[in-house]
């Protein structure tokens, strides 16, 4: 098969070995995949795949099932599906545990479906399973115009949670508000803390989803109200920061570190099952919509990575075959 390989720091479309189907796994002929920040980090030499995972980039895909292993009843050959991957999506085909595979939501194209698994699984896992967000709780989403952010805004609308976002331009804030955020702050206009406090009021917010890390940590703690939860899902703003332990104690705060890629298959399957029950119907009836910046042919993945690295995109960049 052909796949994207990293050669001398560039993404090249070339021959790669195919994986074998085993018990409990599914082979998918890839029609589309999508770019995630983790792909950029891996391509630059960081964030290696978990043990046993494909070294090919790509954390999600959509396409047609061509083969199933022993014991698989979830899907069958010919089904149109999308899948959450530990790697391997930037290729003509991929083998994935069946529990990480879902049928394409009604009415969506394969390109649209390819934009779903990684960001919707990340948003759902961290908002509802890690932070235990409940109806009415106020939520702050950093990088609100990202794939995870645009998914999370729509999910939180569905579950009755007011949302404040940070993003990199006034235009991005406007697009987040159009998706359902109540308000936002352009990070280039200075610290988000004053605007966040104006929005949250004296009681603060209950949940913050943050891919930034150290740069935002102190202000995040300031904005959380009593019993608040901060979920760290990225470290784009650094790893080292002073911590005011008194604030953590007095407010009874919880700081939760979370990753998705290296979790065991049963945990990933549980997230996908939750998406199927709680989010897939809303995608099928149009209440929630995929947010796609553009589509680019998979062999031109280098162009797609450069676009995502520019920080000018909203939602996902999809790669098609």
Q: pLDDT tens for residues 71-84?
A: 999 999 999 999 99
Q: Does residue 107 lie within any of the structural domains?
A: yes
Structure tokens given for 215 = 């740069």
Q: Are residues 79 and 13 in the same domain?
A: yes
- 140-176 pLDDT tens trace: 999 999 999 999 999 999 999 999 999 999 999 999 9
Contact 44, 57 (CB under 8 A): no
Average pLDDT of span 252-274:
96
Give the model confidence (pLDDT) of 204-213 as tens digits. Answer: 999 999 999 9
Distance of CA 271 to the CA centre of its chain: 12
* Model confidence pLDDT, tens digit, residues 34-59: 999 999 999 999 888 999 899 999 99
**What's the mean pLDDT when you consider all of the chain?**
96
The last residue of a domain, from among 208, 240, 257: 257
128 and 248 inside one domain? yes
DSSP 160-229: T--EEEEESSHHHHHHHHHHT-SEEEEGGGS-SHHHHHHHH-TT-EEEEEESS-HHHHHHHHHHEEEEEE
Within-domain flag for 191: yes
Structurally, the chain folds into a number of domains equal to 2
Band the pLDDT of 225: cuts 50, 70, 90.
Answer: very high
Report yes or no on 286 lying in a domain.
no
- Structural element, H or E, at residue 151: helix 147-158
pLDDT tens per residue across span 299-320: 999 999 999 999 999 999 999 9
Q: How far is CA 11 from the centre of its chain?
A: 22
Decide if pLDDT at 181 tops 90.
Answer: yes
SS3 assignment, position 104: coil
Residue 295 confidence (pLDDT): 98
Taking the model in full, what pTM does it have?
0.95
How far is Cα 31 from Cα 196, in angstroms, rounded to an integer? 41
132 and 203 fall within a common domain = yes
303 is in which domain, residue-wise?
2-116+291-320
Same domain, 126 and 253: yes
Instruction: Report the Cα 235 to chain-centroid distance in Å.
Output: 14
Here the CATH number for the domain that contains residue 214 is: 3.40.50.720
DSSP state of 127: I
Same domain, 178 and 236: yes
Q: How far is CA 2 from CA 8, 30, 90, 168, 247, in A?
A: 18, 11, 9, 36, 53
Distance (Å, rounded) from C-alpha 140 to C-alpha 195?
A: 11
Residue 274 resides in a domain: no
């Amino acid at each position: 098969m052909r796949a994207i390989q990293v050669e001398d720091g560039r993404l090249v479309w070339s021959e790669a070995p195919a994986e074998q189907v085993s018990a409990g796994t599914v082979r998918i002929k890839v029609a589309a995949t999508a770019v995630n920040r983790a792909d950029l980090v891996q391509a630059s030499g960081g964030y290696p795949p978990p043990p046993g995972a494909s070294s090919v980039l790509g954390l999600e895909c959509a396409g047609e099932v061509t083969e199933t292993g022993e014991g698989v009843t979830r899907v069958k050959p010919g089904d149109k599906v999308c899948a959450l991957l530990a790697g391997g999506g930037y290729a003509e085909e991929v083998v994935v545990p069946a529990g990480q595979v879902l049928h394409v939501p009604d009415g969506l194209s394969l390109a649209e479906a390819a934009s779903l698994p990684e960001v919707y699984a990340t948003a759902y896992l961290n908002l509802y399973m890690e932070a235990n967000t409940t109806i009415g709780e106020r939520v702050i989403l950093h990088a609100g115009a990202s794939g995870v952010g645009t998914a999370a805004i729509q999910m939180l609308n569905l579950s009755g949670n007011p949302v404040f976002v940070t993003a990199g331009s006034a235009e991005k804030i406007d697009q987040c508000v159009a998706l359902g955020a109540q308000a936002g702050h352009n990070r280039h206009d200075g610290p988000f803390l004053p605007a966040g406090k104006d929005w949250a009021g004296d009681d603060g917010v209950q949940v913050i989803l943050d891919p930034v890390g150290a740069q935002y940590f102190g202000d995040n703690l300031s904005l959380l109200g009593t019993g608040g939860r901060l979920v760290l899902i990225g470290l784009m703003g650094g790893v080292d920061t002073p911590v005011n332990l008194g604030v953590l104690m007095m407010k009874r705060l919880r700081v939760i570190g979370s990753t998705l890629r290296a979790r065991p298959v049963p945990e990933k399957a549980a997230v996908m099952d939750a998406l199927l029950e709680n989010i897939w119907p809303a995608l099928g009836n149009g209440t929630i919509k995929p947010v796609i910046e553009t589509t680019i042919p998979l062999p031109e993945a280098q162009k797609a990575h450069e676009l995502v690295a520019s920080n000018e995109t909203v939602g996902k960049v999809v790669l098609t075959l």
